[in-house]
């Protein structure tokens, strides 16, 4: 007898980071250039069928309103996993991730597996200057230790891999998933700066994690102590 499981994944992040483009590439293998504002929630379904187990994924693409409270925590309840998305060309969207994670935690009693998904990698790779992200915004939370992946819905780079990362965490206890091992695409490099406070114990964990991410994606990644190098930090709009 085939066992049926149903799991809910939520996509969270600021308006315009590309959540809808990401999920539409994953489900329909399409990309639409025009920006489509999500009103409320869009629902998508993808089913994985195995000899003894069928797993139905309910993917909730939640609108990234400027005021997160307009959405309501009820849409986040019952989440089995979450993709927290940010625009690689807009550091402010990265700084807002803790707020989205806070809402996710408030809506669910148990901890929810997360993956941090940087979007618009194709645009980031066109920049002549490094992209800068202040890791101190993440603090000593699961965010600083979460899996990180960089994607492009336009070029279909690492989209399947991003969803596979969270799917693995959600249903790994149900059945072996050798065919879901993320295949990471390594394309031309972009330089990304992550500002940290290296004296903090959690920050050192984050630094080690970031260096691994850089090697995985063949990106030039550099971590900088924002307090010890305030001039560099200021040049990228980061407060020491």
Question: For the chain, what are the domain ranges?
Answer: 3-235
Least trusted range by pLDDT, from 72-86, 97-111, 195-209:
195-209
With a pLDDT cut of 90, the percent of the chain lying above it is: 22
18 — alpha (psi -120 to 50), left (phi > 0) or beta?
left
Neighbours of 73 (CB within 10 A): 14
pLDDT for position 101 = 93
pLDDT for position 128 = 57
| 3-state DSSP helix/strand/coil % of the chain, to nearest 5 | 35, 25, 40
Neighbours of 61 (CB within 10 A): 23
Tokens of 49: 């069928």
pLDDT for position 25 = 92
Choose which CATH entry (3.30.300.30, 3.30.1050.10, 3.40.50.300, 3.30.465.10) describes domain 3-235. 3.40.50.300
pLDDT for position 219 = 58
**Between 32 and 222, residue with greater pLDDT:** 32
Tokens of 57: 């994924």
Mean pLDDT of the chain: 76
pLDDT for position 185 = 45
Residue closest to 16 by CA, chosen among 38, 42, 40, 31:
38
Decide: residue 58, CB within 10 A, 0-12 exposed, 13-18 middle, 19+ buried.
Answer: middle
**Between 191 and 131, residue with greater pLDDT:** 131
Instruction: Report yes or no on whether pTM surpasses 0.85.
Output: no
Tokens of 78: 């019952």
45: β partners: 58
- Reply yes or no on whether the pLDDT at 38 is more than 80: no
pLDDT for position 178 = 43
Q: What is the dihedral of CA 159, 165, 170, 176, to 10 degrees?
A: 110
Q: Phi and psi dihedrals of 16, rounded to 5?
A: 85, 5
The whole-number average pLDDT for the span 127-135 is 64
- Reply yes or no on whether the pLDDT at 29 is more than 80: yes
pLDDT for position 52 = 76
- Calculate helix-pair angle for 19-28, 159-171, nearest 10 degrees: 80
Least trusted range by pLDDT, from 91-95, 148-152, 228-232, 235-239:
235-239
Q: Phi and psi dihedrals of 129, rounded to 5?
A: -110, 155
Neighbours of 140 (CB within 10 A): 13
pLDDT for position 141 = 79
């Amino acid at each position: 007898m085939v066992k049926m499981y149903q799991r809910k994944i939520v996509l969270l992040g600021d308006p315009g980071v590309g959540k809808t483009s990401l999920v539409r590439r994953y489900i329909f293998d399409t990309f639409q250039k025009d920006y489509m504002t999500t009103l409320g929630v869009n629902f998508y379904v993808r089913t994985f069928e195995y000899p003894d187990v069928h797993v139905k994924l309910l993917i909730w693409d939640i609108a990234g309103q400027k005021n997160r409270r307009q959405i309501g925590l009820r849409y986040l309840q019952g989440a089995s996993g979450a993709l927290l998305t940010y625009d690689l060309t807009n550091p402010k969207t990265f700084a807002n991730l803790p707020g989205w994670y806070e809402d996710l935690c408030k809506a669910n009693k148990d901890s929810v597996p997360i993956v941090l998904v940087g979007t618009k990698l194709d645009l980031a790779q066109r920049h002549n200057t490094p992209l800068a992200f202040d890791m101190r915004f993440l603090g000593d939370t699961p965010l600083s230790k979460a899996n990180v992946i960089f994607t492009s819905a336009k070029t279909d780079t690492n989209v399947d891999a991003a969803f596979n990362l969270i799917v693995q965490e959600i249903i790994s206890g149900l059945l072996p998933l050798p065919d879901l091992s993320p295949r990471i695409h390594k394309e031309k490099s972009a330089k990304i700066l992550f500002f940290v406070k290296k004296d903090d114990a959690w920050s050192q964990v984050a630094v080690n994690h970031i260096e691994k991410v850089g090697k995985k994606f063949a990106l030039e990644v550099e971590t900088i102590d924002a307090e010890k190098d305030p001039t560099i930090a200021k040049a990228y709009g980061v407060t020491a």
